[in-house]
Each structure stands twice: as structure tokens, then as C-alpha cells.
């Protein structure tokens, strides 16, 4: 049972550090041969509205535009890798069981879109388009933490309700919310916004995704009880609250490391 829990809570973990222990326009990778199937995306704007993989490409372009304006000295991550089954990363080998994650070593986000189907089947999340964007924005948030030095000196493998791991994950949720909150007003070089104004139904779907990957929800689903000492991502309520803090207040509202445990 513990092995199953470890696998499940790794999903949407955001940071893959296993290998560290001893353009925005589509998909690619930063060296090494794939052990599964990777996709090179060539998508139209229309496809980005309808296709899970193409939506990643559109989101990446919007995230680059947003963070370039929000963060001085911003450097984009490597193109997002969309893979099937397994792939090699700067942090070591990875399979689709790991869920979406960001590798600090090669500054790349890795994502198997089959993860969305698993979320729907295993945790009852609907995972509509805005929820998918939340997941992508969360991983991009880890890139922001990496390039700004937030990860430096943190205990990435720790656990507990107020651990560095939880604070990093909640901050990434907040950064995702900040981008989504601005995506209806942030314009690209052609003057286009990425999102139409977010509806309450879409917002509820994104918050549902945040709740589905809360430590308490996952532990209760998998083993029937909740152990805060094992938390690495935050509760469902915390993940929703920090997403909303970013959506309403921007990245300046995302300092999860200065608040006491009771305020997380």
C-alpha cells in the first residue's frame, strides 16, 4: 500500500529530483534518446482549443509572454516534452506513471497527456481545458522557482504539513493561478489574448483538479486515512486557496515561505 501511495502522490509533484540525488513552441527535448514515444507538435490555434497535446503548445507561448513581463531576467524553459510511456530526462529515466513534472537539471517540463485520463478515472476530476492549463502552469511555476533560486537550499524530499516540499508546491499552484488570472488580458506580439474571460464553470473545473491532487484527498482515496506527516503537496483546500490567491493577486501574492504553518 505504501508503494501505491508513493506512486500516486508523485503525480503533479512538479519537481523530479531522482537523477539529481547521487520556445515555448511545441515539444522537444534536451538530449538523450527516448525510451517511449515523444511528439513534435505542429499545431494551429484551432487545434490548441480542441487537442490536449496542442493545448500545451498554446499554453507555453502564453506562459512565456506572461512571465517575460512579470519577472525581470526571465529565461524560458526548454520546449515541453510530450511523451508516451517513458522518456529520458536530465533527472534520469521517467515513465508516464510519474505524472507531469519539471526537471531542474535540464529546465524541461515532461508530460504524458494520458495523465489527464488517469485523473478522471482514479480521482473523479473532470480535467477540462482550464484544469489542464492549471497543471501546465503549475509545472511552469517550478521553472520560475528554479531560475529565481527559490529551490536553492530547500529540502525537496522532505514531508510534513509545513515542509519545504509543501510550500514549493503551493507556491507553484499560486503561480499557475497568477498566469491564468492574467491570461485573458495579457496580449502577445499580435495583440491577442490567450484566454477569453474565465467562466465560473471553468474555474470550478480548475479548482476541482487542484482538490483532486491534494495530499489529504489522495491519501483518503488510496488508504482510507490521512497522515499530515506524509504531506508533500498540501491539502485540497490549500491548493485551491493558493491557486485563487495567485489568480486574484498575481505572483506577488505567492510567498508561501514567509507565512507561518497556520496560514498555509
**Which of the pair, 4 or 201, is modelled with greater confidence?**
201
pLDDT tens track for 115-131: 777 777 766 667 778 88
Is it the case that residue 216 has pLDDT exceeding 50?
yes
Supply the pLDDT for residue 42.
54
Residue-level pLDDT at 21: 29
State yes or no: pLDDT of 73 exceeds 90. Answer: yes
Is pLDDT larger for residue 206 or for residue 29?
A: 206
The answer to whether residues 75 and 147 touch, using CB atoms and an 8 Å cutoff, is yes
pLDDT of residue 4: 25
Does 18 have pLDDT greater than 80? no
d(C-alpha 220, C-alpha 153), whole Å: 31
Burial of 208 (0-12, 13-18, 19+ CB in 10 A): buried
Higher pLDDT, 187 or 153: 153
Question: What total of structural domains would you count in the chain?
Answer: 1
Picking from 167, 125, 123, 133, the residue whose alpha carbon sits closest to that of residue 15 is 167
Confidence class for position 15, pLDDT limits 50, 70, 90? very low
Q: To the nearest whole percent, how much of the chain has pLDDT over 90?
A: 33
Residue 259 — very low, low, confident or very high, per pLDDT cuts 50/70/90?
A: very high
Contacts of 243 (CB under 8 A, 6+ apart): 134, 173, 174, 176, 177, 206, 207, 210
Going by C-alpha positions, the residue among 23, 38, 207 that lies closest to residue 112 is 38
Distance of CA 247 to the CA centre of its chain: 15
pLDDT at residue number 106? 94
Rounded CA-CA distance 11/139 in Å is 11
Would you state the pLDDT for residue 20? 33
**Does the pLDDT value for residue 178 go beyond 90?**
yes
Dihedral sign of CA atoms 217, 49, 244, 110 in order = positive
Residue 43 is predicted with a pLDDT of 57
Domain of 39, in residue numbers: 2-263
Least confident of 26-30, 90-94, 233-237: 26-30
Whether the Cβ atoms of residue 56 and residue 41 lie closer than 8 Å to each other: yes
Model confidence at 201: pLDDT above 80? yes
pTM: 0.81
Amino acid at each position: 500500500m505504501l508503494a501505491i501511495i508513493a506512486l500516486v502522490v508523485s503525480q503533479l509533484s512538479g519537481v523530479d529530483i531522482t537523477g539529481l540525488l547521487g520556445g515555448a513552441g511545441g515539444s522537444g527535448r534536451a538530449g538523450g534518446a527516448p525510451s517511449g514515444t515523444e511528439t513534435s507538435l505542429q499545431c494551429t490555434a484551432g487545434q490548441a482549443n480542441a487537442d490536449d497535446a496542442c493545448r500545451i503548445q498554446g499554453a507555453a507561448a502564453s506562459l512565456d509572454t506572461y512571465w517575460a513581463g512579470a519577472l525581470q531576467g526571465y529565461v524560458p524553459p526548454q520546449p515541453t516534452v510530450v511523451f508516451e510511456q517513458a522518456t529520458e530526462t536530465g533527472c534520469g529515466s521517467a515513465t508516464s506513471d510519474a505524472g507531469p513534472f519539471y526537471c531542474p537539471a535540464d529546465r524541461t517540463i515532461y508530460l504524458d497527456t494520458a495523465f489527464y485520463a488517469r485523473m478522471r478515472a482514479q480521482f473523479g476530476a473532470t480535467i477540462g481545458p482550464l484544469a489542464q492549463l492549471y497543471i501546465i502552469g503549475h509545472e511552469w511555476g517550478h521553472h520560475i522557482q528554479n531560475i529565481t533560486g527559490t529551490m536553492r537550499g530547500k529540502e525537496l524530499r522532505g514531508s510534513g504539513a509545513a515542509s519545504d516540499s509543501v510550500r514549493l508546491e503551493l507556491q507553484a499552484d499560486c503561480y499557475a493561478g497568477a498566469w491564468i488570472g492574467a491570461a485573458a488580458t495579457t496580449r502577445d506580439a499580435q495583440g491577442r489574448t490567450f484566454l477569453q474571460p474565465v467562466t465560473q464553470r471553468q474555474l470550478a473545473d480548475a479548482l476541482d483538479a487542484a482538490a483532486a491532487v491534494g495530499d489529504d484527498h489522495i491519501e483518503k482515496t488510496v488508504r482510507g486515512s490521512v497522515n499530515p506527516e506524509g504531506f508533500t503537496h498540501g491539502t485540497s483546500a490549500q491548493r485551491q486557496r493558493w491557486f485563487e490567491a495567485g489568480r486574484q493577486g498575481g505572483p506577488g501574492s505567492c510567498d508561501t515561505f514567509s507565512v507561518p504553518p497556520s496560514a498555509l
